[in-house]
Structure 1
Amino acid sequence: MYMTQCLQRTLQQNPDHLATVFGERRQTYRQFGERVARLAGALQCLGMAAGDRVGMLALNSDRYLEYVMGVWWGGGVLNPVNIRWSVPEIVYSLDDCSTGILIVDEHFAALAEGIRATARQAPLFIYAGEGDVPAGMLGYEHLLVECAPVDDAGRGGDELACIMYTGGTTGFPKGVMQSHLNLWSACMPRMVDMPPVRGGRLLHVAPLFHVAGMARALIQFLAGETHVLMPSFDAEGVLKIIEREQITETLLVPTMILALLAHPDFDRYDLRSLKRLTYGASPSAGEMVEQVLARLPDIELSHSYGLTEACPVVSSNLPLNHTPEARKSGLSRSVGRGGLGVNVKIVDPQGHEVPRGAVGEIIVRGPNIMLGYWNKPEETANALRDGWLYTGDAAWMDEQGYLFVVDRLKDMIVSGGENIYSAEVENVLARHPAVALSAVIGIPHETWGEAVHAVVVLKPGAEVDEEQLRRYCRQFIAGYKCPKSIEFRDALPLSAAGKVLKRELRQ
């Protein structure tokens, strides 16, 4: 089980199949494989030995996929760098796992000076962007021309494949160590549940440095199908490329999907090629599901739940649970059931399994679970206990094993001794016709400990006041769960993966 095997297989069986599309650049798997082998050779010539870390700080592109496969082909370990980080955060991750080579594109080349000046040991920079190579860097394309291709190193199994740093919501970011076996074991159950679209074209919009985007790219490699890449999310750009490239499926987060639906030219584009849409990064998106299926009634919707430490998929809610019947039953609000090889339990603070329907913490066990956190034994011991990963997510499970995520445990609001799950309040706000997006947090309160506070973004041209929204919420949830205060903003702070940054809202 080594992640380059899927590329080996496609090169043998279907080498002239289209591998990547990025702007005007198109390459077959034969061409892609040649560049991967040359990149691996170049990295080895620059000193990369087996197990050495190589970083990439770049937007999505065909070269990003070459980096993924090229580092593995040469025997190295990936360190995909968060594109939203500041220079100190980037330097921390590079120093933490001794990343000796960093590939950058034109969007982040200007950060090199700051990285070089403050890193404990400055990495060797390779420029993989468009235009002239900046001073002090090696040219990506020049290296591929000058260096000979090498054979696949074939590292796999429990050997380290990737270090993905978490967002650092508390303290310093943690480097999640993922083995080849972990990644393989995460991808295969998903392929069983959702067989790849034959001849499919996957649009990469979610950032590839993020575990969700990376995992979906690996599944496409395992299927030997075509990758179409956009540097970053742009609503009109997504609509155009779906029509032009006949995209069959994509992975988006709810904030992206809502932006597409709100685009004034949405109905002018021919989106009939789009067969499947996977969404995630939200505990529940019931109202969004209704909007999508009203506009694209024939599309297959699926919802995935996971986390970096699970590489990432824990459970999937399949298209059959997005039918009208399933939506009436509430199953569309589930994040599905654990995949093959993944054991899932809901436990209390003492680690004892709770009755079905009771809220507790999700814990997970399986071959997809990380090796641990790089150089952080205490954090590893806290997260991995008796073979189980403690996720920090609050949820309940029904009698059929369907999971319903209600909140991050750290996002749960405790007001007057009552537990309030922000997702429940956000789902009610999402039903209001004037609300485009919302985020609910707890803020300090002298009497109740915490009070429910909602931050709301309205749809263009819509109007509603604070009291009207509070009255609306009281129709669906208990009074103590309703927002005690509401503020209106033009936008919510989002991570590069499209998740709402609630820590920034609390600050």
Structure 2
Amino acid sequence: MYLTQSLHRSVQQHPHRIAVRWGEQTRTFGEFADRVARFAGALQKLGVQSGDRVAMLSLNSERYLEYQMAVPWAGAVLNPCNIRWSPAEILYSLEDSGSTVLLVDETFKGMVAQFRRESTTLREFIYCGDGETPEGMHGYEALVAQTAPVADALRRGNDLAGIFYTGGTTGFPKGVMLSHNNLCSSGLAVRAEGLARPGGTYLHAAPMFHLADMGLAFPHWVEGNTHSIIPAFDPAKVLDTIEQHRVTNLCLVPTMIQMMLDHPSMGPHRDLSSLRTVFYGASALPDALLLRAQKAIPQAEVFQGFGMTELSPVGTILPSTYLAEENRHLGKLGCSGRATFCTEAKIVDGEGNEVPRGTVGEIIVRGPNVMMGYWNQPELTAAALRDGWMHTGDGGRMDEDGFVTVVDRIKDMIKTGGENVFSAEVENALAKHPAVVMSAVIAIPEPQWGEAVHAVVVLAPGQQVTAEEIIAHCKILIAGYKSPRSVAFVDALPMTGAGKILKTKLREPFWKGRERGVA
């Protein structure tokens, strides 16, 4: 299997069908594939060789879709950059992956000067925005226009397809290595669950650097469906695009769903009748919000899923039938579903033994969607991949029908607005403040974002600092969404006899009477 396979199939079977639509503009599959082959040739002319990493730092665009196909077409490896990270974090991922080429758009072109100064691996910069090409960079459109199409390098199977960076418990992002087989098998499993049907239009409303968007879009390549694109999530823009492009499929996080339903332009005048499916993940959807969504788009099937980058990205899916109001008696509401096709899941104890049904343990997953490993991190890879099983670090239970419910996180991960924040990353930033002796970062409930990052800090004797100063310090080192939203100062942190911080005690007053559920 290989990522470009479905594009070849579409060109052969329906070259004049619309492949991509953005604003008032469209491209057919034939036109799209020609541009992909030309840009792949341009990358090769710039010195990109088999296995080289090509990075992209950009908002959503039709060129982002071309990048996702052209890089493997050229024989290279994808490295999509997280647009919400700080320049220092982005530079780390570029250096760690050894990326040699970087595509940037208008929004991020200002970072190029720093990357050019500080990077030891980047050789070429390509401007993929709509404005005038900055000095010292290659223009994307000029490269496409001036380069003849080349044959597909047919990178495939267990060849590395992409390095996708995710937060790390070591305080640094980890590069998740995914093969063509990993990504294709996950996409085909999503297709088998009924999340893509012929004649559809998938809206790229979530950020395209995120594997959730790429993973849910893949089956629409298989079906030869249309890809509709907006630069970034905006509730009004999503609603407008659904109407104008007759969108059939959406992938959103609960926060996005709530923002759409709460938006002033949402109302009975909106024609959302084209929607067939809405898939959500990253965190649980409150029951009241689920009911609102189902009433607003009654004809659409709502699916829930559990996954992670290491699973390419989907591990379990809960079909819409179990979320329907008339099927609440089945008792699956709040579940994250069953293992997808070609995938196994089970719940184990600390020794790796499967626990009885209904007992909480760690969720582990096995299948062709499980990552190859962490880039240049053999020890972390060995800890996560054991006997072919991906140890997710998430706690859950499985019922007698094989449905998995995620109940808590074994790793200290915080989910805020659909993004993962690892407490170690934040604590690492806090430790660099001269007044901070010790800190613990936890998740606390937050109505809009699901969870918020909260820091509990011990200051050095005689030091005085405000919460605002601590937060500002973190924002210099890490992305804004990872930085604490609130800070509490204490004289000492609760410890176990072994000297470990008791985060359960810190969380207790915030979560008392609440169920901390994630999807």
TM-score category by the smaller chain?
A: 0.7 to 0.9
Structure 1 residue 259, shift from structure 2 partner: 0.3
Structure 1 residue 322, shift from structure 2 partner: 1.6
Partner of 1:482: 513
Partner of 1:212: 212
Q: Structure 2: give runs of 5+ residues left out of the alignment.
A: 415-441, 457-492, 496-503
Structure 1 residue 442, shift from structure 2 partner: 8.2
Query: Cα gap change, 1:374/1:26 in structure 2, threshold over 3 Å: closer, same or farther?
Result: same
Look up the equivalent residue of 1:309 and give its one-letter code.
E
- Separation in 2 of the partners of 1:359 and 1:34? 51
Query: Cα gap change, 1:442/1:88 in structure 2, threshold over 3 Å: closer, same or farther?
Result: closer
Q: Structure 1: give runs of 5+ residues left out of the alignment.
A: 414-421, 430-434, 455-479, 484-498, 501-507
Asked if structure 1 preserves the Cα contact closer than 8 Å seen for 2:275 and 2:297, the reply is: no
How many pairs does the alignment contain? Answer: 444
Partner of 1:458: none
Partner of 1:410: 411
Query: Cα gap change, 1:449/1:319 in structure 2, threshold over 3 Å: closer, same or farther?
Result: closer
Partner of 2:359: 358
- Separation in 2 of the partners of 1:294 and 1:101? 47
Using the size of structure 2 for normalisation, the TM-score is: 0.81
2:508 to 428, 452, 467: 452
- Separation in 1 of the partners of 2:206 and 2:114? 27
Structure 1 residue 218, shift from structure 2 partner: 1.8
Partner of 1:368: 369
Asked if structure 1 preserves the Cα contact closer than 8 Å seen for 2:347 and 2:398, the reply is: yes
Asked if structure 1 preserves the Cα contact closer than 8 Å seen for 2:101 and 2:123, the reply is: yes
Instruction: Tell me the secondary structure at the aligned position of residue 34 of structure 1.
Output: helix
- Separation in 2 of the partners of 1:189 and 1:147? 36
Instruction: Tell me the secondary structure at the aligned position of residue 116 of structure 2.
Output: helix
Partner of 1:336: 337
Structure 1 residue 3, shift from structure 2 partner: 1.2
Partner of 2:431: none
Partner of 1:43: 43
Structure 1 residue 244, shift from structure 2 partner: 1.1
Cα RMSD, aligned residues only: 2.3
Asked if structure 2 preserves the Cα contact closer than 8 Å seen for 1:443 and 1:450, the reply is: no
Residues 229-250 of structure 1: per-residue CA shift (max 9 Å, x gap): 0110111111111111111111
Query: Cα gap change, 1:438/1:186 in structure 2, threshold over 3 Å: closer, same or farther?
Result: closer
Query: Cα gap change, 1:164/1:67 in structure 2, threshold over 3 Å: closer, same or farther?
Result: same
Instruction: Tell me the secondary structure at the aligned position of residue 278 of structure 1.
Output: strand
Matches within 5 A, 1:144-293: 144-168=144-168, 170-194=170-194, 196-267=196-267, 268-293=269-294
Look up the equivalent residue of 1:450 and give its one-letter code.
L
- Separation in 1 of the partners of 2:407 and 2:453? 13
Instruction: Tell me the secondary structure at the aligned position of residue 381 of structure 1.
Output: helix
- Separation in 2 of the partners of 1:203 and 1:296? 16
Partner of 2:73: 73
- Separation in 2 of the partners of 1:314 and 1:438? 21
Instruction: Tell me the secondary structure at the aligned position of residue 379 of structure 2.
Output: helix
The more displaced of 176-185 and 83-92 is 83-92
Matches within 5 A, 1:461-500: 481-482=512-513
- Separation in 2 of the partners of 1:319 and 1:119? 47
- Separation in 1 of the partners of 2:256 and 2:413? 25
Structure 1 residue 340, shift from structure 2 partner: 1.5
Partner of 1:297: 298
Structure 1 residue 284, shift from structure 2 partner: 4.9
Look up the equivalent residue of 1:330 and give its one-letter code.
G
Look up the equivalent residue of 1:452 and give its one-letter code.
E
- Separation in 1 of the partners of 2:15 and 2:452? 50
Structure 1 residue 25, shift from structure 2 partner: 2.2
- Separation in 2 of the partners of 1:66 and 1:346? 39
Structure 1 residue 285, shift from structure 2 partner: 3.6
The more displaced of 374-383 and 327-336 is 327-336
Partner of 1:348: 349
Query: Cα gap change, 1:117/1:280 in structure 2, threshold over 3 Å: closer, same or farther?
Result: same
